[in-house]
Structure 1
Amino acid sequence: MSASIRLCLLVAIFFHHNRLSRSEDSYDGSDNAAPASPNSEKLRAPPPSASAAALDECDPEMIGFELITGNVFSAPGNVIDSIPGTLMLTDCLETCQGNESCQSVNYETGLCVLFSANADIMPGALTKSQFPVFTIYAQKSCLGVKPCERAWCIDRVQNHRLNGYTKNKQAVSSRQECLELCLGENEFTCRSANYNNETGTCELNSMDRITVAGSTAFQPASGYDYMENNCIEEPSKLCEFKKLSGRILKTVDSVYQDVASVDECRELCLNSPYRCHSYDYGDTGEMVCRLSHHSRATLSDIQEPYLDVPEAATYELSSCYNVTIECRAGDMVARIQTSKLFDGKMYAKGSPNSCVRDVNNSLEFELTMQYDNLECNVRKNGLGRYVNDVVIQHHDKIVTSSDLGLAVTCQYDLTNKSVTNEVDLGVHGDISPALSEEVTVDSPNVAMKITDRKGEDIMQSAEVGDPLALKFEILDKNSPYEIFVRELVAMDGVDSSEIVLIDSNGCPTDHFIMGPIYKSAKSGKILLSHFDAFKFPSSEVVQFRALVTPCMPSCEPVQCDQEDLAGERRSAVSYGKRRRRRSISSSSAAQDDMLLVQTIQITDKFGFDKNANRSSSGSEAIYIAGDGGLCVNVAGLIVAATIFLSAQLAIIAAWTFIWQRRKFNSKLSHHDAMSAVSVSIPPASRADSLCKLYDAGYTHQRRF
């Protein structure tokens, strides 16, 4: 512990012990009390009041405490007991609750003072407390509404109010009636209330100082009492603390010793019996953890609440989030609840513009990601398992260190007709990485596979033009369901190019790319559709996505019109089908469609040389100047010239052969007619060759 902190603590302890040595008549219950005056007798031993009588007869379960920070109750004649060494505000309050005569307490770190009177009976006895530490005043009340199990139910700030968030306003007879209205409000979550002491007006607010932290909504207002509901349940699953260097609070609510680590101190804060908003560790002593329900957002009305210590630090709660995932038949819904007004956006990672939810100053928001919405990029990771990454971004355009990334998962155990919803909270590794819940999913276990044309061998890769088939199969052979398919889409994962293969009616959009869906001859629970392998220009990976809907006991096919090879229209049966329309207000509006996703790697057959663009002796390009310029490849020019000359020679040879044969036929006819022309007979070998050539005739010509 630093010397400055030790000195401060020693001064405080000495001051407290000095104060205890005084008589009760001279003790005023504060470190900065004014000297006794002749009028101080007026503060002593007030007559019995209705408040005291009500406390005597009150059911212990209806007793609640109201806190005022930075004020001290000065009533020397009403001190019941002083308890030094009290390091827990909760212990001080429990002591008062167990004492029937106790109506209020003063609490400072290390000291608890009990009084038999309160500030409602003696309003002039409640004054500001600032030096050397601020005091917390707590008043016991018998409430008309059962308080929560928290150590206290209301934080009150005098002469302040919260502007702009009033949900209900009405006239009441007292401040206590106003706070009871807030505690008992059922139509909305009442987080705080403003009470006008002059007019009796009670304003119930939907926000408090924590949720609007950083704004100017909390302001001084003469004659008002601001009352904050400490019974509100705040999110606590995923919390972020920010470090405030060089400062620690002068007064805290709890002091724990022998705490092993700062992480353990943090957990004590998150699990405290009040709304803990800050902690410090190891700054006032080795392994000492101190907690407080205060932060800078709740100490704006307190003068110098912090002790400046350069090497110390206070960790303030920035915001907390509760994340729940609802897995439905056709989509997953990520719901967020936060402890501070959120103004930003929530989107699927990789799709910040197409799959996004803009949030404007809200404590609760959600993002729905449909399995058939390709823009949300929900991925299938194994059979029945769908995953996606979600970003909670505070700024409208950029990602900052305050933003959160969530990995959300829906695991469909269709065999057991159940769904496991998991949330992987991957932020700083401080929170348990998974949450889960179960709901019923009414759908069969269906798989989509890319196979050969017969539907047998599963294909992991193929070349453009290979005969393939898409196979949809209910894995449970005893399932009472059949299935039909619609909205089959092929997608390129690189630039989000896509093509619809089976439309919303269940018909092929282009039968030259993919044919209709038909039942397999082996089983009515297997559907097949033939296609030739194809790919997108920017990627070798093709992803197929289809919506599959179960039906009982059988599925009716749809008639699809399409053109055949001759260009004529003909009708074909397809077991793709439009989903039946349902009323939006119907209780059965939950989608029963399933999204199936499968990928395959398809390569082309172009065989491009990876080094084709490199300059070499065999592929040198020459630029020929001219009006527009011309780039000529020498090797290509030579090859083209060779082919051209070969073609010319072949044409000349063919023409020569035809001319000679016609000439020969002409001579032969002339010989037969005149019988006077002598013919020179060539040798036998040449005659045989000529006969064979003649017998071959036009057949060889056509081949040539």
Structure 2
Amino acid sequence: MEMSSRSLAVAVLLLLARLSAPVESQSAETTTGDCSGQDTTFELRTGYVFTAPEEILDTRPDTLQLSDCIDNCRANSSCSALNFETGLCVLFRTNAFDTPEALTKSQFPVYTIYAQKICLANASELCVDRPWAYEMVPSFEMSAFVREKKTAATRRACMELCLNEKTFQCRSASYNAVSGECSLSDMDRFSVTARSAYSTTPDVDYFETNCADDPVKMCDFQRTEGRILKTVDAVYQDVEDEEACKSLCLNSNFRCHSFDFGDTGEKVCRLSHHSASSLSQIQDPYLEIPEAKTYELTSCYNVTIDCRSTDMIVRVKTNRIFSGKLYAKERPNSCVTDVARGLEFELKLGYQDLGCDVKQEGPGKFFTEVVIQHHDQIVTSQDVGLALRCSYQLQNYTLTSGLDLSVASRVPTIAEESTVVPGPTVLMKIAARQGGDVQTAQVGDPLSLFFEIQEPNTPYSIFVRELIATDGVDNSEILLIDSRGCPTDQEIMGPINSMNGTSKTLRAPFDAFKFPNSDVVQFKALVTPCLPTCEPVQCDVQDYLGYHRQIESLGKRRRRRSEANGQDPHNLLVVQSIRIADKFQAAADTSPAKTKTASTESEVAVLRNSDGLLNHHSDMPPCLNLLGLLMAGALFLVAQAVLIGAWAFIWQKRRQTKMAETTIESDRRFFSTTYANNAYATS
């Protein structure tokens, strides 16, 4: 006949009540020694029970959490130890140090968790909000994965060595009472499940910390049918569903490794720091129930992404020892990290590294997929695939204030693991050489370009490259700082220097100049943020005497993505303009010089600079005025036209006179001939 979940819960409670019936509540108060400057915490022993009826301080039934039982003992200065079974907490004024014969193994069919007070240096600081610091397993040793061996006078001293270890995360320690050897390890029974890593060794005690921070994301739980634990660390009621119970396990104040839900009552969630890998010393730790199921934590992966200006770094932290590969899905051979028995590993994926083939989905948006592969050659069902994204918002924002133009940029990082890296806001301004903003300047004035990060606490530094000056009229431009970050002509602009010893504010000195066709000079530069600092580049420049020398400039040459697709999402484009006045002005008191050309007269003005000096040397010929030349040419043409007209008029008059004379002579001859003929006829 099958037992219902509610009847099972009642039966378990009745069994616990019968087992605890001989224990009577007592309330004696005694004074125990304090920790003398050390911190009080607790040490657990699973499967052991402390039997000392005359030393009982208090019996607290209906205690559903081990942490509550421990807190009761911690708050009572007379309490030195406790027994805990699910639903029952018993406090004692003495402990196994004082009366070791009172501590024995729990008898089948139940098992008890025994805890006693211990004093450890820095426990409250290094084991924050954890009910207990260690669990001890007597005559048990981790024979493999020992990171460091030290000498300790006592078992407590060995615990302190592990707790205060700085070079690695100490998860367990084995102490040999005979030799005084303390073996520290970054592994424990949950990170190394192979039984070959452990051995039964007399005179050696094994300690496992509860203070380590395990990853609690992307966790897998293996379901085991037909059984649940007899004793658990915490019981919660009115839990909504199995997923909520899982969340309670992953976010508990102890290292939870298993849970069951709904098997001892409706909406009842039970959590335990134990799993099958840590219960090998306990006889029959499970209660066999056909319809029950227990979920045991297998592996967790905390994945973080560091999105940087030139690459992304994926870092993986796991709770179980990993040997295998972490590689880019599309480039498993050229972009890979081999891992041998590690709990933390990483892979760097360069945006410009063809071997990693990171995809660019859009301006400033990068995507790739990586695989956590356990086997060296094949992909199995336990492997994990991850989609990684870094997104940089690099749109240009123009802020206008008079002639001040700047581009601000925010750089949030978007990834599957919610990694956010704020980027800098960079302002470029034009100022006097020693500081102070300027609106206008004259050719030759000593000025500087300042590049400054606006956020005072940003981790970024910056370097500048590809600084150009344009006239804004016919797109005439000059390159001042090249792609390496070096000045192209030191006579025009010097190297970029840091201000106040930091590359968060940069300065580029120059003397004011202008273009022939415009009095506005616009500066544009690519500013690249870098972490944590920007390394200066060595520039080979030629000085005024023609000698070559090395100088430092805050730039850095790298193969630009623009060489591949015409854009680089990692640079910030900054723009600034200034009006540069020419120093050459027409002198008001200068009399125009006159010159004659082709019967015309033109005026040529000689320009003087602001100091009243002639722009050209006195022995140089003056420049002709274009308007005067045009007028002289016009007058010359008019004179020619008048001459031609006069000549045509005279020629026409002469022709008419000659024709008249010819006509008269003809008439005279006609009349003479007629008169002669008439006379002859008469005679």
Determine the structure 2 residue equivalent to 1:405. 385
**2:198 corresponds to 1:241:** no
Determine the structure 2 residue equivalent to 1:121. 98
8 Å Cα contact 2:486-2:555 kept in structure 1 = no
Determine the structure 2 residue equivalent to 1:41. none
8 Å Cα contact 1:482-1:553 kept in structure 2 = no
- Find the partner of 1:595 among 545, 551, 561: 561
Deviations 1:212-258 (A, max 9, x none): 12352122111111001111111123222121222211110000010
Determine the structure 2 residue equivalent to 1:435. 419
- For 1:168 and 1:598, the matched residues in 2 are separated by 52
Change (3 A) 1:54 1:524: farther
- For 2:422 and 2:253, the matched residues in 1 are separated by 30
- Find the partner of 1:95 among 44, 65, 72: 72
- Find the partner of 2:42 among 61, 65, 70: 65
8 Å Cα contact 1:330-1:595 kept in structure 2 = no
Q: Displacement of 1:80 after TM fit? A: 1.0
- For 1:208 and 1:195, the matched residues in 2 are separated by 14
8 Å Cα contact 1:330-1:594 kept in structure 2 = no
Determine the structure 1 residue equivalent to 2:275. 295
Determine the structure 2 residue equivalent to 1:211. 191
Determine the structure 2 residue equivalent to 1:14. 14
8 Å Cα contact 2:144-2:198 kept in structure 1 = no
8 Å Cα contact 2:174-2:183 kept in structure 1 = yes
Kindly provide the amino acid, as one letter, of the partner of residue 379 in structure 1: K
- For 1:406 and 1:108, the matched residues in 2 are separated by 42
Deviations 1:435-485 (A, max 9, x none): 3233559899xxxxxxxxxxxxxxxxxxxxxxxxxxxxxxxxxx996549x
Change (3 A) 1:550 1:524: farther
Superposition pairs of residues 167-316 of structure 1, within 5 angstroms: 167-316=147-296
Deviations 1:86-129 (A, max 9, x none): 11011100111111111111101111111111111111211111
Change (3 A) 1:4 1:132: farther
- For 1:209 and 1:263, the matched residues in 2 are separated by 26
Change (3 A) 1:348 1:370: same
SS in structure 2 opposite 1:221?
coil
- For 1:110 and 1:21, the matched residues in 2 are separated by 13
Determine the structure 1 residue equivalent to 2:86. 109
SS in structure 1 opposite 2:253?
coil
Kindly provide the amino acid, as one letter, of the partner of residue 115 in structure 1: F
- For 1:349 and 1:214, the matched residues in 2 are separated by 30
- For 2:414 and 2:221, the matched residues in 1 are separated by 24
RMSD over aligned Cα atoms: 3.8
- Find the partner of 1:363 among 332, 335, 343: 343
Kindly provide the amino acid, as one letter, of the partner of residue 116 in structure 2: Q
- For 1:253 and 1:209, the matched residues in 2 are separated by 18
Deviations 1:555-580 (A, max 9, x none): 99xxxxxxxxxxxxxxxxxxxxxx99
8 Å Cα contact 1:354-1:376 kept in structure 2 = yes
- For 2:100 and 2:556, the matched residues in 1 are separated by 60
- Find the partner of 2:33 among 36, 54, 76: 54
Superposition pairs of residues 155-170 of structure 1, within 5 angstroms: 155-170=135-150
8 Å Cα contact 1:191-1:229 kept in structure 2 = yes
SS in structure 2 opposite 1:284?
coil
Q: Displacement of 1:551 after TM fit? A: 3.6
Q: Displacement of 1:595 after TM fit? A: 2.7
Deviations 1:13-46 (A, max 9, x none): 2233345553649x9xxxxxxxxxxxxxxxxx9x
SS in structure 2 opposite 1:326?
strand
SS in structure 1 opposite 2:15?
helix
Determine the structure 1 residue equivalent to 2:111. 134
Determine the structure 1 residue equivalent to 2:356. 376
- For 2:43 and 2:164, the matched residues in 1 are separated by 16
Kindly provide the amino acid, as one letter, of the partner of residue 353 in structure 2: N
8 Å Cα contact 1:194-1:224 kept in structure 2 = yes
- For 2:348 and 2:189, the matched residues in 1 are separated by 31
8 Å Cα contact 1:482-1:525 kept in structure 2 = no
Deviations 1:649-677 (A, max 9, x none): xxxxxxxxxxxxxxxxxxxxxxxxxxxxx
**2:365 corresponds to 1:392:** no
8 Å Cα contact 2:463-2:556 kept in structure 1 = no
Determine the structure 2 residue equivalent to 1:318. 298
Change (3 A) 1:482 1:197: closer
8 Å Cα contact 1:329-1:441 kept in structure 2 = no
Q: Displacement of 1:178 after TM fit? A: 1.0
- For 1:53 and 1:524, the matched residues in 2 are separated by 85
8 Å Cα contact 1:481-1:553 kept in structure 2 = no
Q: Displacement of 1:143 after TM fit? A: 2.2
Kindly provide the amino acid, as one letter, of the partner of residue 93 in structure 1: I
**2:317 corresponds to 1:340:** no
Superposition pairs of residues 500-539 of structure 1, within 5 angstroms: 522=475, 524=477
Q: Displacement of 1:271 after TM fit? A: 0.8
8 Å Cα contact 2:219-2:297 kept in structure 1 = yes
SS in structure 2 opposite 1:95?
helix
Determine the structure 1 residue equivalent to 2:660. none
Superposition pairs of residues 433-582 of structure 1, within 5 angstroms: 434-440=418-424, 483=466, 522=475, 524=477, 551=485
What percent of counterpart residues are identical?
44
- Find the partner of 2:413 among 409, 414, 421: 421
Q: Which has the larger radius of gyration?
A: 2
Kindly provide the amino acid, as one letter, of the partner of residue 168 in structure 1: E
8 Å Cα contact 2:24-2:59 kept in structure 1 = no
- For 1:254 and 1:146, the matched residues in 2 are separated by 23
The answer for unaligned runs of 5 or more in structure 1 is 28-44, 426-433, 445-478, 485-519, 527-547, 557-578, 600-704
Change (3 A) 1:11 1:312: closer
Determine the structure 2 residue equivalent to 1:75. 52
Change (3 A) 1:188 1:480: closer
Q: Displacement of 1:6 after TM fit? A: 4.9
8 Å Cα contact 2:80-2:94 kept in structure 1 = yes
Kindly provide the amino acid, as one letter, of the partner of residue 33 in structure 2: A
Count of aligned pairs: 457
- For 2:409 and 2:107, the matched residues in 1 are separated by 63
- For 1:374 and 1:115, the matched residues in 2 are separated by 67
